Structure formats: C-alpha cells, structure tokens
Amino acid sequence: MRFAIRLLPENESYRVPFNHQHQLQGLIYRRIQRVDPDLSLSLHSPKVPKLFTYSLFMTERRTLERCRPYFLGSGRAYFYFSTAVPSIAEAFIGGILQKPEVELWGEKFVVEEVKAVKEPEKLSGRKFVTLSPIAVTTKRVQFGKPRSYDLGPDEPEFYELIKENLREKYLHIFGTNPPEDFEMKVLNAKSKRFEVKRGIYQVAWHLVFRAKGDEGLLKAGYLAGFGEKNSIGFGMVKVNGRKPEGRRRGGGGNRKGEAS
C-alpha cells in the first residue's frame, strides 16, 4: 500500500533541512500511536521488521542557500509513504486524517490531500528511481576492530546484501520460503551522506536501476523498501516515469491548527 501525502505550508517560503528523515519518522510514529498505541509500541522493538518506508520531503519549488544546512521550499510540499502491512497503513493514514495539522523542524503545514497510489501490475524488468536513497551496510575490520561500513554499488556485496534483505522481507510478508531469482543493474548512482542521529552518519545512494526476477521479491522492495534502514527513511523507489494515481482522501483541517 502506497500513499502520496500533500501538504499546504503556513508560510509562503519555508526551510527544509537536508537531514530531515528522523523528523518524518517521528511524525509517522506519532500518527500511528494516535490510532493504534499497541502497534506503535510493537514497532519500537528492534527485533520486529518494520516493513514500511517513506520518501524524502519534497517541495514544488526549492532554492539552495550557500553554506546552509537546509533549502528553502515554496508552494506545496509532499512525501510518499509505503508499507506491506495494512494495519500500519490504516493507523498512519487514519492518524494523518484525524489530525492534519503538522509541524516539522519548526515549520507548520496542514495535510491537504492523501492519495492512494496504484501499484504497478508488473515490476520485473522495469526501471526504478529512488525516492529516498538506498543504504547498505556491513562490518569491516578497521584498526583491529569490526566497524560499520557503508557499501556502494561498485562493490559486489552491495547487491548480495540487497538480495538477502529482500528475501528476509519476503519471508515476513508472505510467510513462505523466499525465492532466489533477483538481479539488479545500476544505471546511474550518486552518493549522499546523511546524519541519521546526532553524530551518526550514513552514506546512501540515489540510484536509477533496472531489476528483474521474482515478482514477490520485487514487490517486497517496492512496498517496504530496498536495502536497510527503511523505517528511518531509506530505500523507497518508484517505477520510472510512473505518476501517482488513485483514490484521494481529503485532509481538511485549519491551517492555523495545533502542531503535531
């Protein structure tokens, strides 16, 4: 299940920090908790696969300011949310519609529209573009100690771990033994370094890639994200050239309403 969430800003111009995924994560968890506290609590368990992801925060227009940790947005803002678990979708979208007033990094918005996005009928052989960069990590010995190492698409282990991660998601989503049939070819790649928590950084990759193989594996990636750390804003993709479409749900609300 996938949704496009469109927001109206309180101000004509507003700031969007480059490192903002944790703020969106907080919004998602607060809205889930509003509707289903037990589900929210279970999602905080490190042993529970989250099986949801979301895009970066986007704006109709943006202006970069030199040497600033943010860009200036104007016009409507929007982001995408995707999950393979219906109860997560129901709780988050229900919470957004119940309380459409949103405050993020000190800027106020109101949810104007929630649109359900139609899932592509076929994924194998299609070209994909990241809506949030793909993160893949492993352990490497550095200075005599195992340390976290961020992999890139120039390393074979990058693809091996993406496949392994997809198979794990498949098992949790479908409850059957996951297939092996998966291939991925990167057509364009650009790295970006994110601060995911204070002092903790992640190198992830904006990619254009073509993937083919088992439709279930690809669906797991499409709905729950490719790579790791999907629930903190990594690994969401779209089918290249596909525009969001589907049933709309109005957000309503007062633009001067309370903050989230």
CA 197, 203, 204, 208 dihedral sign is positive
Helix, strand, coil shares of the chain as percentages rounded to 5?
25, 40, 35
Furthest-apart CA atoms within the chain: distance in Å: 57
Which residue, among 196, 201, 164, has the nearest Cα to 182 in the 3D structure? 164
* Residue 44 is among the residues annotated as catalytic for this protein: yes
User: Is 80 annotated in the active site?
Assistant: no
Question: From the candidates 14, 20, 22, 29, which is the catalytic residue?
Answer: 29
Helices (H), the chain: 21-35, 37-43, 86-98, 156-174, 215-224
CA 242 to chain centre: 17
Task: Determine the residue type at 118.
Answer: K
Residue 81 near residue 92 (C-beta atoms within 8 A) = yes
| Helix H or strand E encompassing 217 | helix 215-224
The tokens describing 198, both together, are: 């204070």
* Integer Cα distance of 236 and 128 in angstroms: 10
What positions carry a catalytic annotation? 29, 44
